[in-house]
Structure 1
Amino acid sequence: MSYGYQVSPTVVPYPDFDPREDAEVLRKAMKGFGTDEKSIINVICNRTNEQRQEIANQFKTLYGKDLIKDLKSELSGKFEDLVVAMMTPLPQYYAKELHEAMAGIGTEEGVLTSVLCTMSNHEIRVIRNAYEVMYGKSLEDDLRDDTSGSFKRLMISLCCANRDETFNVDQADALNDARKLLQAGELVFGTEESVFNSILVQRNIPQLKQIFQEYANITGHDIQTAIENEFSGDIKKGLLAIVKIVNDRAGFFAEQLYKSMAGVGTNDRTLIRLIVTRSEIDMGEIKQAFSLQYGKSLEDFISDDCSGHYKKCLLALIS
């Protein structure tokens, strides 16, 4: 489901793919004294996630060993984290990210928002299934236990994966929804968040764009301004994320990447998740948005912020 945005991957299926040959290259790179990181990067960064799974299966067939375990034993630090992320099937990877965001003390609401607000219905259903298999508990149950209030209701609604995914636009309905949002927010004392939840979670992407346009026509300001004024905390962040994704999907991810590297210290988990998952979808468009928004290329940001094989691997994924 492209939602009508530009599909511009930087990692595409390798044309002369031979999983057996790749498995042999990786085995040789890890055998004996020292590790040939360059060969590992060259193979893994130039194969899609689906092709990497085929390499892992071939590796197990040839050598009776688990490729991820061998890579973990040979690599270390952030480079290891990145390579393991690349080798993990995407549904399991997303499930793990969501679980870790809710495990332990406190919840990383930003991870929940970034994943659940950006997925198609099918993707969410596949992730839900993987989550239950891996953790013996439904994603919905964990969201209910680990989040609260309006944000909890938004996350559970998104987890249901019932968004209209057509591209049909009805201007009369859009105007009606815009009025409902106005009456539930700016024209009432205390915000009726359920109306925002219902409309932003269920309407298709082109219809939401039309609703936002109608809202601006009525009020003279955008829906983003209304949400900023009417909401606070995690629910505000969640609703704003949906609006940003509808209006400028690539810009949303560019902002997430920027925030992962800006300031003191790097949020490597976020950086890894975004680079690994968007490289096969729309990283080309995200890079353009990044340069426009921040006046510096994503490649330069990564080069300044990261180092060693970790940096080389990240750059290979977005080139």
Structure 2
Amino acid sequence: MPGTIRGVEDFEAEKTAECLRDSMKGMGTNEKQIIVILADHSNAQRQEIAEIYKQAYGKKLIDDLKSELSGDFEDVCLAMLDPPRLYDAKQLHKAISGAGTDEKTLIEIMCTRSNDEIEEIKKRYKEEYDSNLEDDLTGDTSGYFRRLMVSLCTSGRDSSEEVDQEKAEQDAVRFYEAGEGRWGTDEAELNAVLCLRSLPHLLATIAKYEELTGKPMVESVKDECSGSLQEGYLSILESALNTPKYFAKRAKKSMKGIGTNDNDLIRIMVSRSEVDLQDIKEAYLELYETSLTEAVSDECSGDYKRMLCCIIDPYQG
């Protein structure tokens, strides 16, 4: 699954750091140059640029950008300078700190990252906040949604690529008997199937479930669960079925209604830029009959819009 940002082939960290310095030196800021550099280079290249910048000029690149930029444009530029899992950790912390909890952000990150990614997020979270992610999630959530977050935080999903079709059928029956096939819902059983099984096994179970019941598993989850728990279970299923389509829908939701949820939009664009943003673009066009670039252009403005559009369609200089 290709991303849109693949990095610069003839990469020169020192020269690029100098260009960034020039773009912020003296009167005014060359925002266009900042946009081109950040959107063209991969995250790994940006880490090298930031290190060289600090060595050369005795200041952190991120601090100079903070002093020169503002608003959503500043936010997206700073997001691009964080290593991916540190950025995830910061987003999770933001979602559970302050008044209220942003369950949608917790769901998006925790339900779509791999075991290894979850482990690195926990490490980064501990280093950044001197606190355990699981403890903070437990303290800020409740009920079966809390159980879902704790289960995902253990990074215990089976990573095998092999599928036992008989076991997949057993899990489909187990899922039915915990939901549609009983009075009330046994959320713990649903949780076990969705959080422990490998993605190939989960796909087989989804297919077996529809064969056995004549009903998609996602529809059963909608009928049997509600609120954040329902959203979490649906995110696991929908991202397993079609990850680009899942994120295309998330991008659409961030731009729907009055105002734009810029934090969500930035996170999706930045976090998927080197993973599957090219496929997300195609899924978005198929779902909504308009390009992701056009949608962003309609909702955003100024340098912020230009940066997001360059992430979606980099110059590849």
Q: Which residue of 2 aligns with 1:104?
A: 98
Equivalent in 234, 239, 242 of residue 240 of structure 1: 234
Confirm or deny that 1:118 pairs with 2:130: no
Query: Aligned equivalents of 2:126 and 2:296: distance in 1?
Result: 35
Q: Which residue of 2 aligns with 1:50?
A: 44
How many aligned positions are there?
313
Query: What SS class does the counterpart of residue 122 from structure 1 fall into?
Result: helix
- Relative contact order, CA 8 A, sep 6+: which one is greater? 2
State how 1:220-259 maps to structure 2 within 5 Å: 220-259=214-253
Gaps of 5+ in 1: 1-6
Query: Aligned equivalents of 1:99 and 1:9: distance in 2?
Result: 26
Query: Aligned equivalents of 2:160 and 2:173: distance in 1?
Result: 23
Confirm or deny that 1:203 pairs with 2:204: no
Query: Aligned equivalents of 1:91 and 1:281: distance in 2?
Result: 13
Give me the TM-score of the superposition, normalised by structure 1.
0.97
Query: Aligned equivalents of 1:279 and 1:69: distance in 2?
Result: 23
Q: Which residue of 1 aligns with 2:296?
A: 302
Confirm or deny that 1:26 pairs with 2:20: yes
State how 1:87-98 maps to structure 2 within 5 Å: 87-98=81-92
State how 1:1-319 maps to structure 2 within 5 Å: 7-319=1-313
Q: Which amino acid aligns with 2:20?
A: L
RMSD: 0.7
Deviations 1:42-70 (Å, cap 9, x if unpaired)?
A: 11110111110100100011111110000
Percent identical across equivalent pairs?
Answer: 45
Deviations 1:87-132 (Å, cap 9, x if unpaired)?
A: 1122221111000100012110000000010000000000000101
Query: Aligned equivalents of 2:2 and 2:83: distance in 1?
Result: 21
Give me the TM-score of the superposition, normalised by structure 2.
0.98
Query: Aligned equivalents of 1:243 and 1:279: distance in 2?
Result: 22
Query: Aligned equivalents of 1:83 and 1:188: distance in 2?
Result: 50
Distance apart, 1:13 and its partner CA: 2.2
Query: What SS class does the counterpart of residue 14 from structure 1 fall into?
Result: coil
Query: What SS class does the counterpart of residue 166 from structure 1 fall into?
Result: coil
Q: Which amino acid aligns with 1:313?
A: M
Query: Aligned equivalents of 2:161 and 2:267: distance in 1?
Result: 28
Query: Aligned equivalents of 1:180 and 1:88: distance in 2?
Result: 42
Query: Aligned equivalents of 1:39 and 1:13: distance in 2?
Result: 16
Query: Aligned equivalents of 1:234 and 1:263: distance in 2?
Result: 20
Query: Aligned equivalents of 1:88 and 1:152: distance in 2?
Result: 28
